[in-house]
Chain A
Amino acid sequence: MSAAPSSDGPTPDREHALFLLREMLRIRRFEEKAAEMYSLQKIHGFLHLYIGEEATGVGAMQAFTPEDAIVATYREHGHAIARGMPATVLMAEMFGKATGCSHGHGGSMHFFDKARRFYGGYAIVGGGLPIAVGLALAEKLQKHSGVTACYFGDGAVAEGEFHEALNLAALWKLPVVFLCENNLYAMGTALARHQAQTDISAKAAPYGLASSAVDGMDVLAVEAAAKQAAAFVRAGNGPYLLELRTYRFRAHSMADPDLYRTKEEIEEWKKRDPLALFDARLRAWGLLEDAERARLEAEVTAEIEEAVRFAEAGPWEPVENLLADVRGPVKS
């Protein structure tokens, strides 16, 4: 399967297009505010920003319904926002507050939302893949129609669990859409320096999976490819591996001096900033004017400011609850 075409194609529906733009802008501004809060010591520990990859998170998420299950990684802010989790509880979680989506227990790498079937971020590279296989197995055994979307990075393809998970999903024909966000770097190691075969979508065939790759900077192309993959899986054809070729504009994490790549390379990719690309195409289609864009910017900025206020105001979980939630309530 070759890369999906990213030519202009037909003009998209205006309302949906503006929705996609707004979602990507919300993620961008959320991540910028997170970086600011981190430098002001409001957020501690690890923080992995999604800036540059917004199109893969938002585009692919359109292929999944509330009944589907989502499994993500530690670079999950974009996935959580695209899945519908409010910016308030995410910011509060990174502030470590009890009002955070994981009550301050998880932090930036471990957002969870049972109601939205967002089964969280996993900080062990590849750790989420077996979980996704299990969720899909449960759907199949219970004769449910749900599909499981499993996001992971190019680094995970080097883990044994990637190979075990693809094989088991294909062996048992499980409804999983493996979404590999290939941003070309596993922290400080470029793809070509850790994989003999760098075409990730080509790794599916040996395990009997259908697969394809798409330009991760084109939100419409990503959406189309993801919907095609999800339809394939929903039809009971077994799992699908979709490679989303993208790039991160920021370092791996706040503590990363980013010495392993050149400024020129980053600037080159920034020319295909998914937000800027889509903004320009919408204007070209006459679907977006300055006033509309400015209103969008103001609304998103206000939403993010409100998220910070919500996080600041949130209470700390009392230390007395330290041992709560280790195991369930003792049965009567």
Chain B
Amino acid sequence: MTKMTYREAVRAALRKALRSDPRVFLMGEDVGRYGGAFAVSHGLLAEFGPERIRDTPLSESTFVGAGIGAALGGMRPIVEIMTVNFSFLAMDQILNNAATLRHMSGGQLNVPLVVRMATGGGRQMAAQHSNSLEGWYAHIPGIQVLAPATVADAYGMLLGALREADPVFIFEHATLYPLEGEVDESAEPLEITRAAVRRSGGDVTLIAYGGSLGKALQAAERLAQAGIEAEVLDLRALRPLDIPAIVASVAKTHRAVVVDEAWRTGSLAAEISAQIMEKAFDDLDAPVARVCSAEVPMPYAKHLETAALPKVEEIVRAAQELVPRHG
């Protein structure tokens, strides 16, 4: 096990993939000479050269489409879109080509492509640089969507994604890059469809992913002081959702709070709440609660941004309202 940051873990996984598979190459805005907008690919250009670490023009639709074409042509490209905010320009290539070609070609073509992008707010980047829209991608059949929240997952899930024969999209919450943690670089690539219980408890289930996991764990600690034992479930995969794990936890605790940095309306939290209602109705002792961002373009001013984003106190309050008063 080695101690490293989340960004170093992603870099280590990229390095391992590049070294072990000649078909792998990295393409994206400022991934080469600049070393990556979040310094993830720092040093890779020097080690692997400009052919395999390719800076691209700011042409998201075309370099993502080129990634799809190269995957069709026998490569295993990793495309970095700097942030989810710039990915909408490539949404046609993603939805109409990457996600669709296998089915539309009657099973002949497959697109072994991994796309990584930073996501989320909380760093005063204002509306156009603070979106959290993993849920849009998790709506699309044909692609898989991951949200590694721990340093170990940042390493292991990228390697797991590279084994898939179809497109995988990995969302790295921008606030996680400096997170410290342990990575076993000799370990097998991680399984990428199952959720993980990060803290077990019997009174209420807190369901979170990516940048919201930390807030859920903090909320669980505060709830423990108030005599409420919260179970924290880290989704890890946003498509497919690990419904059995969600149902099993709710069957134990009878209460659930879903934490999702996206806007509440039509969010992933809405989908999870519907799945719980459909599959664990008889286990519910209270309606599923959701803690999401306020429905506003992310404001710049710190106090406003903080007010807009999901907060630990909101999670604690939501959980307390669900659990019957103690004593």
Which residues of A approach B to under 8 Å, CB–CB?
69, 100-106, 110, 112-114, 119-120, 122-124, 127, 129-139, 141-142, 160-161, 164-165, 167-168, 171-172, 324-328, 331
Which residues of B approach A to under 8 Å, CB–CB?
25, 51-52, 54, 56-57, 59, 61-75, 77, 92-93, 96-97, 101-110, 141-142, 144, 163-166
* CA A129 to CA B68, docked complex, whole Å: 11
* CA A262 to CA B72, docked complex, whole Å: 43
**B54 proximity list for chain A (CB < 8 A):** 172
Asked whether B65 lies within 8 Å of A324 as measured between CB atoms, the reply is no
**A141 proximity list for chain B (CB < 8 A):** 25, 51-52, 70, 75
Partner among B66, B96, B102, B109 whose Cβ is within 8 Å of the Cβ of A137: B66
Asked whether B69 lies within 8 Å of A138 as measured between CB atoms, the reply is yes
* CA A135 to CA B77, docked complex, whole Å: 12
Distance of A323 from chain B, by nearest CB (Å): 8
**A142 proximity list for chain B (CB < 8 A):** 73-75
Asked whether B57 lies within 8 Å of A171 as measured between CB atoms, the reply is yes
Asked whether B65 lies within 8 Å of A161 as measured between CB atoms, the reply is yes
Partner among B57, B92, B109 whose Cβ is within 8 Å of the Cβ of A164: B57
User: Helix, strand, loop or mixed for chain B's interface?
Assistant: mixed
* CA A10 to CA B57, docked complex, whole Å: 46
Asked whether A328 lies within 8 Å of B106 as measured between CB atoms, the reply is no
* CA A182 to CA B51, docked complex, whole Å: 34
**B71 proximity list for chain A (CB < 8 A):** 134, 138
* CA A65 to CA B12, docked complex, whole Å: 41
Q: Which residue of the partner chain A has the closest CB to B69?
A: A134
Distance of B176 from chain A, by nearest CB (Å): 27
**A164 proximity list for chain B (CB < 8 A):** 57, 59, 61-62
Asked whether A124 lies within 8 Å of B92 as measured between CB atoms, the reply is yes
A-B contact pairs, 8 of them (CB 8 A): A114-B109, A119-B109, A120-B104, A127-B65, A130-B61, A327-B142, A328-B102, A328-B165
Asked whether B61 lies within 8 Å of A114 as measured between CB atoms, the reply is no
Q: Which residue of the partner chain B has the closest CB to A146?
A: B73
Asked whether B108 lies within 8 Å of A131 as measured between CB atoms, the reply is no
Distance of A236 from chain B, by nearest CB (Å): 15
Q: Which residue of the partner chain B has the closest CB to A331?
A: B163
* CA A104 to CA B109, docked complex, whole Å: 15
Count of A-B residue pairs with CB < 8 Å: 147
**A325 proximity list for chain B (CB < 8 A):** 102-103, 106-107
**A327 proximity list for chain B (CB < 8 A):** 102, 142, 144, 165-166
**B164 proximity list for chain A (CB < 8 A):** 328, 331
Asked whether A132 lies within 8 Å of B69 as measured between CB atoms, the reply is yes
Partner among A106, A114, A133, A171 whose Cβ is within 8 Å of the Cβ of B69: A133
Distance of A106 from chain B, by nearest CB (Å): 5
Asked whether B59 lies within 8 Å of A167 as measured between CB atoms, the reply is yes
Q: Which residue of the partner chain A has the closest CB to B167?
A: A327
* CA A130 to CA B70, docked complex, whole Å: 10
Partner among A120, A137, A328 whose Cβ is within 8 Å of the Cβ of B166: A328
**B96 proximity list for chain A (CB < 8 A):** 122-124, 127
**A102 proximity list for chain B (CB < 8 A):** 104-106, 108
Asked whether A110 lies within 8 Å of B72 as measured between CB atoms, the reply is no
Other 11 A-B pairs with CB < 8 A, given A160-B59, A164-B57 = A103-B106, A105-B106, A122-B97, A127-B93, A130-B62, A130-B64, A130-B93, A134-B69, A134-B77, A135-B72, A137-B73
Partner among B61, B102, B107 whose Cβ is within 8 Å of the Cβ of A160: B61
* CA A173 to CA B315, docked complex, whole Å: 54
**A110 proximity list for chain B (CB < 8 A):** 104-105
Asked whether B106 lies within 8 Å of A119 as measured between CB atoms, the reply is no
Asked whether A101 lies within 8 Å of B106 as measured between CB atoms, the reply is yes
**B103 proximity list for chain A (CB < 8 A):** 105, 325-326
**B107 proximity list for chain A (CB < 8 A):** 103, 324-325
Asked whether A130 lies within 8 Å of B106 as measured between CB atoms, the reply is no
Asked whether A133 lies within 8 Å of B106 as measured between CB atoms, the reply is no
Partner among A114, A134, A161, A165 whose Cβ is within 8 Å of the Cβ of B70: A134
Decide yes or no: A104 and B106 within 8 Å by CB, A130-B68, A133-B62, A164-B61 being known contacts. Answer: yes
**A324 proximity list for chain B (CB < 8 A):** 107
